[in-house]
Amino acid sequence: MILGRAFEDMCAQMYYRGKMFGFVHLYNGQEAVSTGFIKLLKQQDSVVSTYRDHVHALSKGVPARAVMSELFGKTTGCCRGQGGSMHMFSREHNLLGGFAFIGEGIPVATGAAFTSKYKREVLKEADCDHVTLAFFGDGTCNNGQFFECLNMAALWKLPIVFVVENNLWAIGMSHLRATSDPQIYKKGPAFGMPGIHVDGMDVLKVREVAKDAIGRARRGEGPTLVECETYRFRGHSLADPDELRDPAEKAHYAARDPITALKKYLIENSLASEADLKAIDKKIDEVVEDAVEFADESPVPSQSQLLENVFADPKGFGIGPDGRYRCEDPKFTEGTAHV
Q: Contact positions toward another protein, by CB under 8 A?
A: 46, 48, 79-84, 87, 89-92, 96-101, 104, 106-115, 118, 121-123, 144-145, 148-149, 151-152, 155, 308-313, 315-323, 325
Specify the residue, 183 or 309, whose C-beta has the smaller distance to another protein: 309
Instruction: Tell me how far, at minimum, the Cβ of 311 lies from another protein, in Å.
Output: 5
Instruction: Tell me how far, at minimum, the Cβ of 295 lies from another protein, in Å.
Output: 16
Specify the residue, 105 or 235, whose C-beta has the smaller distance to another protein: 105
Instruction: Tell me how far, at minimum, the Cβ of 196 lies from another protein, in Å.
Output: 23
Specify the residue, 14 or 150, whose C-beta has the smaller distance to another protein: 150
Return the SS3 of 201.
coil
DSSP letters of 229-245? E---SS-SSTT----SS
Instruction: Tell me how far, at minimum, the Cβ of 106 lies from another protein, in Å.
Output: 7
Specify the residue, 244 or 319, whose C-beta has the smaller distance to another protein: 319
Specify the residue, 4 or 98, whose C-beta has the smaller distance to another protein: 98
DSSP 319: B
Give me the half-sphere count of Cα atoms (radius 13 Å) on the Cβ side of residue 219: 8
Angle in degrees, 0-180, between the axes of helices 258-268 and 31-38, rounded to the nearest 10: 60
Specify the residue, 75 or 174, whose C-beta has the smaller distance to another protein: 75
Instruction: Tell me how far, at minimum, the Cβ of 28 lies from another protein, in Å.
Output: 25
Q: Which among 189, 195, 193 has a CA at the least distance from the CA of 227?
A: 195
Instruction: Tell me how far, at minimum, the Cβ of 87 lies from another protein, in Å.
Output: 4
